[in-house]
């Protein structure tokens, strides 16, 4: 017997075509008890997200533990493994931790990622006895985290005004390069060079252009037509 719709070969016992699902009916054929010609349709096994998270977390923990043990075995104390484990923990907080939540809220995970970067840099500065954390790394990471957090918060809770948000973010990032150079100079006793101009000018120009487009409707419509956005 064959399927009337797709023509696939059928066992007499089959009630539905295994390929196309059409009902099998033949008035002259008695339905026996033979097993079907084809196995029941199997769907690919989907891994549960929790399983993936547990596996990834276990890999992270085993990796950290092995690194620590190797380091202790060879040096007797924590030396290079601190950097490796710190980087692994930072990556975990930024990339894996949000997946533990059903709908990860970027308003929470962007600042916690920034905090993870800060803690890692703090560890490096203490381990290397550097004097650059409080006067350079912390404020720079803090400013960037603040800008990104502000952008994701506004984008999440405001319906409109993306152009204002991104325009403002470009301007803030551009202007913050003044502070970055200042902090770099006082931290490492470098002379004033004024390089901040190069990243600042394009950032502020792009930001200003976005805000101009946000304010000026005809200009925005022209751009939309030109770039099909
Ligand atoms: Zn069929």
d(CA 103, CA 30): 54
Whether residues 92 and 148 share a domain: the answer is no
Whether residues 14 and 37 share a domain: the answer is yes
Q: Is residue 6 part of a domain?
A: yes
Domain span holding position 194? 105-222
Whether residues 28 and 11 share a domain: the answer is yes
Report the 10 Å Cβ neighbour count for 110. 22
The DSSP string of 210-221 is HHHHHH-HHHHH
Distance 9 CA to ligand 1 centre (A): 8
Q: Is residue 229 part of a domain?
A: no
Q: Is residue 145 part of a domain?
A: yes
pLDDT tens-digit series, residues 55-64 = 999 999 999 9
Burial 174-210 (b: 16+ CB within 10 A, else e): bebbeebbebbeebeeeeeeeebeeebeebbebbeeb
- Specify the number of domains making up the chain: 3
Q: Which residues surround ligand 1, an ion (CB under 5 A)?
A: 3, 5-6, 8, 17, 19-20, 22
Whether residues 35 and 55 share a domain: the answer is no
Q: Tell me the residue length of the chain.
A: 229
Distance 2 CA to ligand 1 centre (A): 8
Whether residues 165 and 152 share a domain: the answer is yes
pLDDT tens-digit series, residues 164-199 = 999 999 999 999 999 999 999 999 888 888 899 999
Q: Which of 58-62, 106-110, 123-127, 222-226 has the lowest mean pLDDT?
A: 222-226
């Amino acid at each position: 017997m064959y399927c009337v719709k797709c023509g696939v070969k059928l066992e007499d016992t089959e009630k539905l075509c295994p390929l196309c699902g059409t009902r099998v009916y033949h008035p002259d054929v008695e339905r026996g008890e033979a097993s079907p010609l084809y196995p029941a349709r199997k769907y690919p096994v989907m891994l549960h997200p929790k399983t993936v998270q547990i596996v990834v977390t276990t890999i992270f923990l085993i990796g950290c533990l092995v690194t620590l043990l190797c380091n202790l075995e060879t040096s007797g104390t924590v030396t290079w493994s601190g950097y490796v484990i710190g980087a692994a923990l930072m990556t975990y907080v930024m990339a894996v931790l949000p997946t533990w939540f059903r709908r990860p809220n970027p308003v929470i995970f962007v600042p916690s990622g920034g905090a993870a970067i800060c803690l890692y840099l703090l560890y490096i500065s203490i381990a290397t006895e550097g004097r650059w954390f409080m006067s350079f790394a912390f404020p720079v990471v803090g400013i960037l985290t603040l800008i990104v957090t502000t952008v994701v918060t506004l984008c999440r809770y405001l319906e409109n005004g993306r152009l204002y948000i991104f325009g403002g973010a470009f301007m803030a990032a551009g202007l913050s390069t003044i502070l970055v150079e200042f902090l770099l100079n006082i931290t490492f006793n470098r002379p004033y060079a004024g390089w901040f101009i190069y990243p600042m000018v394009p950032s502020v120009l792009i930001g200003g252009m976005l805000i101009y487009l946000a304010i000026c409707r005809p200009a925005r419509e022209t751009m939309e037509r030109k770039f099909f956005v």
